[in-house]
Amino acid sequence: MSELPYAHGGPPLSAVLRATPEDFLVDEDLGITPSGEGEHVFLTVRKRGTNSDWLAERIAAFAGVPARDVSFAGMKDRHAVTTQTYSVHLPGKEAPDWAQFPEPDVEILSHTRHHRKLRRGALNGNAFRITLREITGARDQAEACLQAIARRGVPNYFGEQRFGREGQNIQRALALFAGRRIPRKQHGMLISAARSQIFNAVLACRVQAGNWDRILNGECCCLAGSRSWFVADNAEQATHDVRAAKGDIHPSGPLWGSGALPSQAEAAALEEAVAQQNQKLAQGLARQRLDQDRRALRLVPEALQWEWTDARTLVVAFSLPAGSYATAVLREVAAWREMV
């Protein structure tokens, strides 16, 4: 993400991130309360340095069910301490003794039943508490940057993990679109990477132009806290500007698909120009028969707080909606190297 433009002047700090997994804490907010009965056992777990998919396989093996019968709502960082919920399909079956689960870096905090399985993406969001260590740089500028983020938010970039090691998912997506045989189970990941690449390119253009948090003519506006969006009526531009300033609505960028863009006028012209620069990706996505969709260009962290625990250690805490990346917030404050 370091090559993408910054909204707040560039990071004033340098730091170490993830010196230990405990420096990156994530708590999932499902937004639902299990009913206490049903075919699915909901397990709330705390895991340290553990991959979400790997743990799903271990839970399935312990419960004696196929891997497809274990699901979770969202991927979590491996190099972290994360709390999340898994569902295990156990219709008419007695659950195992979860206290005997053998993995040393996994603690099962609670278990109860529910009538539906967890589906990918079905969560409100995540709360983060992140510690940056060995900090150098201008502390006063960092304070001003954090205050600006609290007021205006940050560009809602997709994070590096969406694109794979050294961005290889984009090249593999191009290979898929060119007709090369790719295992079917990888298609969804590569298509998502291609959509993310075009979205990030549109957002980067708008950050450079200084209008990433403003409503353009023909803008598709995302409602805050919702996946709904609407096309702005230019006759109500003043009203849209006020709502955007309050954070009620956000400008949006394309998740590319087939058919015409829903955006219009100035917004559509910018998006079409970026798609032309990424023509092979855009054409490949159009052939997948995906609907055009939208994603907010602006990300406003909720309950943003920070504390200097000593002269070289900064703790930052905030909550983000599902599908957002904590690194999109951190990158505006600090350039970091990871100890993993």
How far apart CA 171 and CA 175 sit, in angstroms, is: 6
Residue 228 identity (one-letter amino acid): S
Closest CA to 139 of 258, 27, 286, 307: 307
Q: What is the 3-state secondary structure (H, E, C) of 184-232?
A: HHHHHHHHHHHHHHHHHHHHHHHHHHCCCCCCCCCCEEEECCCCCEEEC
77 is catalytic: yes
How far apart CA 237 and CA 242 sit, in angstroms, is: 9
Burial of residue 153 (CB within 10 Å: 0-12, 13-18, 19+) is buried
Q: From the candidates 77, 213, 291, 310, which is the catalytic residue?
A: 77
**Nearest-10 Cα torsion for 320, 321, 322, 326:** -20
Contact status, residue 251 vs residue 297, Cβ threshold 8 Å: yes
The pairing of strands 293-296 and 298-299 is: unpaired
Contact status, residue 320 vs residue 131, Cβ threshold 8 Å: no
Residues facing 229 on adjacent strands: 222
- Quick one: DSSP state of residue 159? P
Helix axes of 279-287 and 265-277: crossing angle, nearest 10 degrees: 100
Cβ-count burial 185-212 (b if 16+ within 10 Å, e if not): eeeeebbbbbbbbbbbbbbbbbbeeebb
Write out the DSSP string of 227-287: S-EEEPPGGGHHHHHHHHHHTSEEEEEEE--BS--S--HHHHHHHHHHHHHTHHHHHHHHH
The pairing of strands 125-137 and 40-48 is: unpaired
Q: Which residues are catalytic?
A: 77
